[in-house]
Structure 1
Amino acid sequence: MFQITHENASAIFRQYANAVYRIALGIVRSPEEAEDILMDCFSAAIHHSGGFNDEKHLKNWLMRMAEHRALNVVKSARVKRSVPLEEAEAVAAPQKAHSELLDTVMRLPDIVKTVVYMFYYEDMPAADIAQALCISENTVYKRLAKGRKLLKISLEEGMQ
C-alpha cells in the first residue's frame, strides 16, 4: 500500500505536478483554473483514505482526476470567456517555453489530446493510459491514430 506522507509529499508533487497541470491546462485553457485543479488533485490524493496500490496507481489516479476535474470545470462554465487586456497579449503571442508541436497537440480535440499528451509527453504506456482514463487499450490506440492524423494535417497546413 502506497500512502502520501509528510516525508514524500513534496517529492511526489515535484514529480507529477507538471503532468497534472498540463492535462488540466490543455482542457480548461486557463492557467489559473489549471492551477486550481492541480491543487485540488493533490489535496484529494493526500486525503485519499484508501491509499494507492503503488506509485504507478497514484500517477494514473492523478491523471484521471485532472482530466475529470478539468472537464467538470469546462462543463460548469466556470472558465471565463473574457480575457483581461494585459493577458490578451500574452495569450496571443506563443510562449517561448512551448514548442510548435506541443501547441498543436494542445489544440487537438479534448478526447484525443489527453491520450496523445499522456503517451508522448508523459511516456505512459497505452495500458496505463487506458487504466487511468477508464477506457479500453484499443480505444487508446484509436485515439492515438486519430491524433497523429490530425497533427499531420495541422502541421502540413502550417508549412504552406
Structure 2
Amino acid sequence: MEEKEARRIMETYADMILRISYSYFRQTYDAEDICQNVLLKYLSSHQRFDSQEHEKAWIIRTTINACKDLRKSAFFTRTIGLDAMPERAVPSEPVSVLSDEIKKLPANYRISIHLFYYEGYTIKEIAQILEKKETVVANYLSRGRKRLKESLTKSDKNFLTKAGEAI
C-alpha cells in the first residue's frame, strides 16, 4: 500500500514540486533534492487530508518551507555552485520568451505568478499558502505582471530592431 501511495504522490506532485523549487534556486540538482525531501516528509508524516486541494496546498507549503530552509542553511550560504557542471533540463516546461522573463522576476513575484496562473490558485488561497496578506499577494501579482509587460515590450522592440537590421 505504501508503495502505491508513493507512486501516486510522485506522479501527481513531483513536477509541481520541481518547478516551484527550481524557481527558488534555478538549479536542477537543488530542486531535485527539495523534491525528494518533500516526498519523504509526506510519506513519513502519515498525514490525513480533507481533500485533494488540502493535500496540494500542504505539498506547496512544505516545498516553499524546504526551499527557505535550504537557502538559510550553512551548506547553501558557504558553498559555491557547480557552474562547470552541465545543467539538466527542468521537466516539461515550455520554452518561451514569457517563461524566460518570469524566471528573471524576484522570488515572491515568480511564486505568486506560478501559483496563480499555472496552478490555478486564487489570491486568497495563495495568501494562505505563502502566509501573507491577500493585499500583499495582489501586489506581488500586479507588480510581477507590470514587470513582465515592460520586459516583454522591451524584448519585442529589440526583436523588431534586429529583424529590421537583417532585412
Structure 2: stretches of 5+ with no match in the other structure: 158-167
Work out whether 1:103 is the aligned partner of 2:100. Answer: yes
In 1, distance between residues paired with 2:9 and 2:117?
Answer: 21
Selected match of 1:132 from 122, 126, 129: 129
Cα 1:96–1:120 change in 2 (3 A) is closer
**Aligned with 1:36 (options 33, 37, 41):** 33
Residue aligning to 1:116:
113
Q: Look up the match of 2:164.
A: none
The question of whether the paired residues in 2 share the 8 Å contact of 1:28 and 1:73 is answered with no
Provide structure 1 residue ranges, at least 5 long, that are not aligned to the other structure.
Answer: none
1:123 counterpart SS class: coil
1:71 and 2:68 matched: yes
Equivalent residue letter for 1:118: L
Over aligned residues, Cα RMSD in angstroms? 2.5
Q: Is 1:46 matched up with 2:43?
A: yes
Query: Do the aligned partners of 2:126 and 2:137 also contact (CA within 8 Å) in 1?
Result: yes
Retained in 2: the 8 A contact 1:20–1:38?
Answer: yes
Q: Hey, what's the Cα distance between the residues in 2 that align with 1:44 and 1:96?
A: 25
Aligned match of 1:12: 9
Distance in 2 between residues matched to 1:56 and 1:142, nearest whole Å: 24
1:87 aligns with 2:90: no
Q: TM-score, normalised by structure 1?
A: 0.82
1:26 pairs with one of 23, 32, 36: 23
Is 1:150 matched up with 2:113? no
> 8 Å contact 2:109–2:143 — kept in the other structure?
yes
Residues paired across the two proteins, number: 152
Higher radius of gyration, 1 or 2:
2
Deviations 1:77-128 (A, max 9, x none): 52633411x527x79xxx9842221121121101111010111111122222
Contact 1:28 1:71 in 2 (8 A): no
User: Is the CA contact 1:63–1:132 (under 8 Å) kept in the aligned structure 2?
Assistant: yes
3-state SS of 2:23 partner? helix
**Is the CA contact 2:9–2:39 (under 8 Å) kept in the aligned structure 1?**
no
Higher relative helix content? 2
TM-aligned CA deviation for residue 159 of structure 1: 1.7
Tell me the amino acid that sits aligned with residue 74 of structure 1.
Answer: R
Identity across matched positions, percent: 27
The farther-off stretch of 48-57 and 107-116 is 48-57
- CA distance in structure 2 between the aligned counterparts of 1:44 and 1:141, rounded to whole angstroms: 30
Q: Do the aligned residues in 2 keep the contact of 1:21 with 1:34 (CA within 8 Å)?
A: yes
